[in-house]
Amino acid sequence: MNVNTIHIPRNSPWLPPAMLKQEGEIRHRIKFSESERRIFRKHKKILVSKWAELHRNVTMSVLPGRWKNEVTPYLAGIMDASFFPSVQTTILCKAPQVGASESTLNCIGYAIDRDPGPVLFIYPDELTAKENCQDRIQPMIKSSRRLASYMTGIDDDAGMLRISLQHMQLYMAWARSASRLANKPIRYLVFDEIDKYPDTAGKRETDPISLGEARAITYRHNCKKWKISTPTIESGNIWQALTKEAQVIFDYHVNCPFCDHHHKMIFKNIKWEHEKEPDEKGDYHSLPAETIESEKLAWYECPQCSAHWNDYDRDRAVRHGRWRDRKSEVELMEYLRINRPAKIGFHIPSWISPFISFSTIAAAFLKGQSDINKLKDFCNKHLAEPWKLTIISKNEAQILAARCDLAPQTVPESAIALTCGIDKQKHGFWFVVRAWTAELTSWLIHYGFLETEDEVEKLIYESSYPVGDTDRKMRIFRACKDTGGGEKYEGMSMTEEAYYWLIKNRGRGGVALWGTKGATNSLPGMLKIGEPIMSTPSGKKLPAALRLLHVDTQKAKDQFHYRLQLAAQEDTRNLPGAAFLHAGTGADYAEQILAEEKQIVDKGAEEWVNPHQRPNHLFDAEILASVCVEMEFPGGGLRLLAERLRQQTLSAADNKSKSEKPVVAKSSWMRRR
């Protein structure tokens, strides 16, 4: 029988009556177009990872060109598992720059070529959606000869929010637009950076993930979903999906290139260089983080043979690694064949990526020891785990353990600046003054209560504090004053009074004075400069424009407690960033610091609250004094001040050296001229 011949029974009910009346064998020649041939052709089944090596070109990468699984071997298993018949949802809880997004694009490229169906990409915001379409998705299609053959050639079919191919569509959506998430049956769903999604897609809508998943109901038996994100907090979408939704979690196990020991890499096996000489207590301290990172002084120690791996050895170990499930350590594909799960999760820390050095990881950890925000980044971006604040003072003794031998109203000799925080009340002002080093170690040197604005001005502009045992004195460098508050007296609110006072005193005495208000939403950093204010909340026109500093108070309070605990614990007192208290700090101070507690509120989020409405004014004042040293503060952080002081010292020494040269040397020089 000719393979190109199709025999149709004469009794087929759909045949035209005219053909049924004809006698003998009826032959009809059918010719398919090239596009029809390509669609009808039965492709030989291959793994997604193999398809990527054959047909994917990477454009937006440090290693552009043909896709090679050997560069990021851990991604091959993820891609192949995504298209295992039973798997419908693949969850990737990952560090940045590990290639997870590119592996998902490979899966979509495979779907375009081998198993077509409508695709929906959901990004946190509209700009990100358009940028990814323009910079990643369209270049992926156009740079591949196989995928480019499916394009229609019509300009309108390759837009910023929709790509129409000959046989399927790819849609772009973002989490805040309910309309972009609705009214489309979707087979392939890509949820990108889901920890950045809002709680709801609109005032009357549910969350974006639920809206997106509802689009796949039509394809409920053969849909594929990817949920991808770097984690943030425990209640975040990706950590909840990994720990509550996934039926199994896979970790990547590597082979030691020296002893062939198969194991899961963990952070505690990453080591780095320390000082060669101990301190007075006999402790050996780490080299500076910048030195470790720039000179590549970190390594990984094999738990079996204690061999030291450099980054190249790590890449060799990863190249021979395997994904294994977290509980029984069964290999990935074997587990899928035996258990046939529908929802699977992968945990991807930074140290298995060839793009991230051990020294970068070690430096990030060391920087986080004195800065809570950098510690959060280390947990999220290297451990690929959610941040959870565990060091919080619970009682008066824990607060006062941060006291040192420093006398009240005395500045340590190592300090380079004083900052002041002022919390305004209806009747009076609470304040603190802190001394700071360039490394952000600090000392509370003065705190208390002032009754009038005149006393506040005297504190900021006239007070000076003795520096250690020297003859020097130091004045306040920066100050922040809270502008919140309700009605003070008829016709004047506390906020309006603060505005007028700030305008009157700004630029005075060389002190950088700023008014503050709490930010309504979380900020990328600790501070943001607000827009110019031309009038008071009640509509009164101000004599001059005023700008305020918006403070992320949740982050600032985390930061202060973290620094306070560094000073309170014996093994961390020597770390940069510790916040000490002077020797005379009393229970009155500790009570106000303890007035607020960290509690879990709606949807598992943690917030600082004052459950018993106790006075917390010194806590607020400490926050304001602390934000004065942040890099976002106008004029920059204290490291910039330290560098200016160093240059001034060098210049003064140079001028002194020149002035001390013998007159005869100058005369000789003149005679030679």
Mean pLDDT is lowest, of 66-80, 124-138, 448-462, 625-639, for 625-639
Q: What is the mean pLDDT of residues 539-562?
A: 92
CB atoms within 10 A of CB 392: 16
β 549-551/527-529 pair status:
antiparallel
> Is the pLDDT score of 3 beyond 90?
no
**For position 31, what pLDDT does the model report?**
77
Q: What would the pLDDT profile of 387-406 be if each residue is shown by its tens digit?
A: 876 655 678 999 999 999 99
Structure tokens at 282: 């006999």
> Is the pLDDT score of 14 beyond 80?
no
**For position 69, what pLDDT does the model report?**
95
Q: What would the pLDDT profile of 491-508 be if each residue is shown by its tens digit?
A: 678 889 999 999 999 889
* C-alpha span between 407 and 524 (Å, rounded): 37
Q: What is the mean pLDDT of residues 413-422?
A: 95
Structure tokens at 208: 């974006």
Structure tokens at 402: 């941060």
Q: φ and ψ at 646, to 5 degrees?
A: -65, -45
Residue 321 β-bridge partners = none
- Residue ranges of domains in the chain, CATH in brackets: 48-259+321-356 (3.40.50.300), 415-636 (3.30.420), 646-673 (no CATH)
> Is the pLDDT score of 605 beyond 80?
no
* Residue reference for tokens 């390509």: 38
**Element holding 323 (H helix, E strand):** strand 322-325
Q: Buried (b) or exposed (e) across 342-361, using 16+ Cβ within 10 A?
A: ebbbbbbbbbbbbbbbbbbb
SS3 381: helix
Contact 274, 338 (CB under 8 A): no
**For position 670, what pLDDT does the model report?**
29
Mean pLDDT is lowest, of 145-154, 321-330, 638-647, for 638-647
**For position 672, what pLDDT does the model report?**
30
**For position 42, what pLDDT does the model report?**
66
* C-alpha span between 531 and 508 (Å, rounded): 22
Dihedral of the CA atoms 562, 565, 570, 574 (nearest 10)?
40
What single-letter amino acid sits at 463? S
Contact 593, 563 (CB under 8 A): no
User: Using DSSP, how many helices (H) and how many strands (E) does the chain show?
Assistant: 23, 31
Residue 467 β-bridge partners = 411
> Quick one: how far is CA 160 from the chain centroid?
27
Q: What is the DSSP annotation of 598-612?
A: EEE-GGG-EEEE-TT
**For position 485, what pLDDT does the model report?**
75
Q: How confident is the model at residue 665 (pLDDT cuts 50, 70, 90)?
A: very low
Q: What would the pLDDT profile of 259-293 be if each residue is shown by its tens digit?
A: 999 999 999 999 999 888 776 666 667 888 899 99
Q: What would the pLDDT profile of 531-550 be if each residue is shown by its tens digit?
A: 999 998 888 899 999 999 99
By the 10 Å C-beta count (0-12 exposed, 13-18 middle, 19+ buried), 460 is classed as: buried
* C-alpha span between 134 and 136 (Å, rounded): 6
* C-alpha span between 499 and 502 (Å, rounded): 5
Contact 403, 583 (CB under 8 A): yes
Q: In terms of residues, how long is the chain? A: 673
Q: How confident is the model at residue 657 (pLDDT cuts 50, 70, 90)?
A: low
SS3 170: strand
* Residue reference for tokens 């008014």: 515
* C-alpha span between 432 and 582 (Å, rounded): 12
* C-alpha span between 196 and 606 (Å, rounded): 16
What single-letter amino acid sits at 325? D
**Element holding 623 (H helix, E strand):** helix 617-627
Please state, in angstroms and as integers, the Cα–Cα distance from residue 238 to each residue in 223, 353, 380, following that order.
20, 20, 11
**For position 451, what pLDDT does the model report?**
93
**For position 667, what pLDDT does the model report?**
30
**For position 666, what pLDDT does the model report?**
34
- What percent of the chain is modeled with pLDDT above 70? 90
Structure tokens at 458: 């005297």
Structure tokens at 156: 């309108």
What single-letter amino acid sits at 447? Y
